[in-house]
Structure 1
């Protein structure tokens, strides 16, 4: 697997990853009816460095890296990750997380924080903990999960 910077030429293949995650509405606080244009605009918004995980010419995952905040919080990185449905359970998210930690360090960030990890996303919570993140906060019932109703979101953090 190769992880490389994404280009806008990847849009069609990225949409194949973004759309099912957005439509499911279980892991990102995005409108489930978000258009392709809006989703790609969100993923590639200014300040986001976008990467793709590619195997044999197929894109199996994507992530974006950005500063978590501006000014006094700009030394802390933030990322969002999505994996193609058919590629889940194959180590793609782990590889992207490890790549993002190295990329963040190389860019001078001193920590990484995830602001809104849906508590019912057990696979992600376990993976982020396995990659050194700690749960440092819990936001009670802030996410309207389509199957579980109101659920908590977690704030997760690790030093780099």
Structure 2
């Protein structure tokens, strides 16, 4: 598996599993039923951030986007978001993308990484981020409407880099 910077030409392939992930409704509080054009600015980061893809041959297995969590005086803390094609979940793609984002943030001089909204019932993601050094620093109760569990919390997670 290789991780490389995503291109505009990669977006349609990313969108195929972006759309599925958003329709599942278990991990992101993004708008429903976005078209290819509507969803593109929600995922394809521009500088100073970037979007990357995990590829095997010509197949895109997953994607991550990263950049400053906030502008101006908050821009020293990074953030990231992750998508793995459902056909490739549980195969280490998310871990590889997570490690990439951590290393990218270090290289870029960020002091830490903050995830603003990790759904508390997303056990695999919570476990992965904790294994990579993130801590749950708070949970906003009943802030995500999960299709099976109803109103659940969103964790704010943080990984210091300095």
Q: What is the TM-score of this pair, normalised by structure 2?
A: 0.95
Distance 1:158 1:52, change over 3 A: same
Does the CA-based 8 Å contact 1:25-1:31 persist in structure 2? no
Distance 1:46 1:56, change over 3 A: closer
Shift of residue 45, structure 1, vs aligned partner: 4.5
**Secondary structure at 2:90 match in 1:** coil
**Secondary structure at 1:90 match in 2:** coil
- Structure 1: which 5+ runs fail to align? none
Confirm whether residue 33 of structure 1 aligns to residue 41 of structure 2: no
In the aligned structure 1, how far is the partner of 2:34 from the partner of 2:154?
A: 21
Tell me what 2:120 maps to.
119
Alignment of 1:70-149 (within 5 A): 70-149=71-150
- Structure 2: which 5+ runs fail to align? none
**Secondary structure at 1:94 match in 2:** helix
How many residue pairs get matched?
160
Shift of residue 46, structure 1, vs aligned partner: 3.9
Structure 1 runs of 4+ with >3 Å offset: 45-48
Q: What is the TM-score of this pair, normalised by structure 1?
A: 0.96
Shift of residue 32, structure 1, vs aligned partner: 2.2
- State the superposition RMSD in angstroms: 1.0
Alignment of 1:5-84 (within 5 A): 5-47=5-47, 48-84=49-85
In the aligned structure 1, how far is the partner of 2:38 from the partner of 2:67?
A: 18
| 1:69-90 per-position Cα deviation (integer Å, ceiling 9, x unaligned) | 1122111000000000000000
Does the CA-based 8 Å contact 2:17-2:86 persist in structure 1? yes
In the aligned structure 2, how far is the partner of 1:105 from the partner of 1:6?
A: 20
